[in-house]
Amino acid sequence: MNIARFIEDKIKSQGLRKNWVAERIGVNYKTFVARLKQDNLTAHDLFSLSKLLDFELIDIEKEIVNKFVSENNEALKELAK
């Protein structure tokens, strides 16, 4: 999972549209979609999105780490031996 996927999941789970979100955070729709596609959101984007979509920035890290651990659980167990 990457940051853009986390954001897209938040948008979808709240029943929002990307063009509405882009407008609310002050970013052109095409620019916003390109940033999501390239996983290239700015710090300002992330801060604005966290307020708009009601999440803490640390939630992104937790989600990515949990996904990594669940996908690589067996390999991590082998490394721990």
pLDDT category at 62 given cuts 50, 70, 90 is very high
Residue ranges and CATH numbers for the domains of the chain are 3-80 (1.10.260.40)
Is pLDDT above 90 for 74? no
CB within 8 Å of 76: residues ≥ 6 apart: 69
Q: What is the mean pLDDT of the chain?
A: 92
Amino acid in position 10: K
Is pLDDT above 90 for 75? no
pLDDT category at 1 given cuts 50, 70, 90 is low
Record the pTM.
0.79
What are the tens digits of pLDDT across the range 20-39? 999 999 999 999 999 999 99
